[in-house]
């Protein structure tokens, strides 16, 4: 069942005198539940401004709670924002996909809607075995907990935290830390990357794992025993002005236990911490 609430602040005119246009702000809040026919439905969210929070809920459904805060410098641009910044939700028996903005990713232009903004705060409950792929861009957090399915997450200017994780596929943050806490030893390969931020992995004792590390300004700290692990060099070939050019890169490898799935971990300006998680 869908619930909906709206609040709005409009232009101000007093005693017949027009003041400079006041910013327009409108808040909408609603909840919607979508039936799914599988224990492993998919959830995809591509947000621009705001946070994404995912938790486990009941089997057979995905429950979405949304807070939308729309703002613009004046009424004209507010009306324009309704046309160019929207929320597209696609749902069927296999899952839910949520896209903020334009499917062609032209949201950064906003078609002349300078100063327009729509913050979406997403709170989602999914069956524990859901496949989750969520991300945001500005002024938000990605916070996921208790998902036993495969998780991917991204953030441009903000942190990512995932607790009680089984397996990940791709975790990427540009300006923000990444904290991953594993409920059990992972069995799948995963790529973890940030440019400006630390990466912390909470790993259960006895986990067997291989790590390929690409660190520019950072160190590795580990509460678990790790051993050096030889990795083959990668060769990148390009052709420039009729000349072959080769870039050879040698990554650092470490191994936990007997080795296992490969975690590719990269950070330009940040440390990697491997912590013991009981």
Instruction: Return the domain boundaries, the chain.
Output: 3-158
The better pLDDT of the pair 148, 102 is held by 148
Burial (Cβ within 10 Å: 0-12, 13-18, ≥19) of residue 61? middle
pLDDT in tens, 141-177: 999 999 999 999 999 999 999 999 999 999 999 999 9
Q: What is the mean pLDDT of residues 209-236?
A: 84
DSSP label at residue 19 = P
Distances (CA, A) of 191 to 5, 145, 248, 266: 40, 19, 20, 8
110 close to 104: Cβ distance less than 8 angstroms:
no
Q: What is the mean pLDDT of the chain?
A: 87
pLDDT in tens, 112-125: 688 899 999 999 99
pLDDT in tens, 10-24: 333 333 444 456 889
């Amino acid at each position: 069942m869908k619930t909906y609430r709206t609040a709005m602040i409009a232009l101000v005119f007093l005693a017949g005198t027009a003041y400079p246009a006041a910013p327009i702000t409108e808040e909408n809040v609603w909840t919607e539940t979508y039936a799914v026919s599988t224990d492993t439905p998919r959830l995809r969210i591509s947000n621009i401004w705001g946070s994404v929070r995912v938790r486990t809920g009941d089997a057979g459904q995905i429950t979405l709670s949304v807070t939308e805060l729309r703002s613009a410098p004046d009424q004209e641009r507010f009306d324009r924002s309704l046309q160019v910044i929207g929320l597209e939700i696609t749902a069927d028996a296999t899952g839910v996909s949520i896209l903020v903005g334009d499917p062609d990713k032209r949201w950064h232009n906003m078609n002349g809607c300078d100063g327009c903004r729509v913050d979406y705060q997403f709170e989602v409950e999914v069956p524990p075995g859901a496949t989750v792929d969520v991300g945001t861009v500005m002024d938000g957090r990605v916070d996921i907990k208790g998902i036993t399915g495969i998780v991917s997450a991204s953030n441009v200017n903000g942190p990512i935290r995932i607790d009680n994780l089984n397996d990940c596929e791709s975790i990427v943050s540009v300006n923000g830390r990444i904290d991953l806490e594993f409920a059990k030893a992972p069995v799948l390969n995963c790529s973890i990357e940030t440019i400006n931020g630390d990466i912390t992995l909470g790993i259960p004792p006895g986990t067997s794992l291989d790590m390929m590390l690409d660190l520019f300004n950072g160190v590795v700290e580990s509460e678990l025993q790790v051993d050096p692990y030889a990795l083959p060099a990668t060769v990148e070939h390009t052709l420039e002005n009729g000349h072959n050019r080769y870039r050879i890169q040698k990554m650092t490898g470490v191994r936990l236990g007997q080795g296992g799935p490969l975690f590719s971990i990269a950070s330009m300006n940040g440390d990697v911490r491997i912590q013991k998680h009981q």
